[in-house]
Amino acid sequence: MRYAVIIEWAETNYSAYVPDLPGCVSVGDTLEEVTRISARRSRDIWRSAGGRRSDPAPRTRAIEVEVVLDAA
């Protein structure tokens, strides 16, 4: 299952969260670090909630939309 991960620059580090997995938040000094931590935390949160490899993952409800704003 694929999940959306929202990553934001927070002035001194990166912050990330997964909207479909409540409690799945992470911070990191680099984009690579916060991405790696988010993936690991997503797996850990799923397993701590009772998820096993044979269980279906929660269905994603997030919808990804890219918006381009005019500079005008």
* CATH at residue 20: 3.30.160.250
Long-range Cβ contact pairs of 11-14 (< 8 A, separation 24 or more):
none
What is the residue range of 47's domain?
1-72
Q: Which two tokens stand for residue 32?
A: 């690579």
Q: Which residue has the tokens 């997995």?
A: 21
This prediction's pTM: 0.68
Each residue of 3-19: pLDDT tens digit?
888 899 999 999 988 88
Confidence of residue 50 (pLDDT cuts 50, 70, 90): low
Q: How many domains does the chain have?
A: 1
Confidence of residue 53 (pLDDT cuts 50, 70, 90): low
**Mean pLDDT (the chain, rounded):** 81
- Say what the pLDDT of residue 4 is: 83
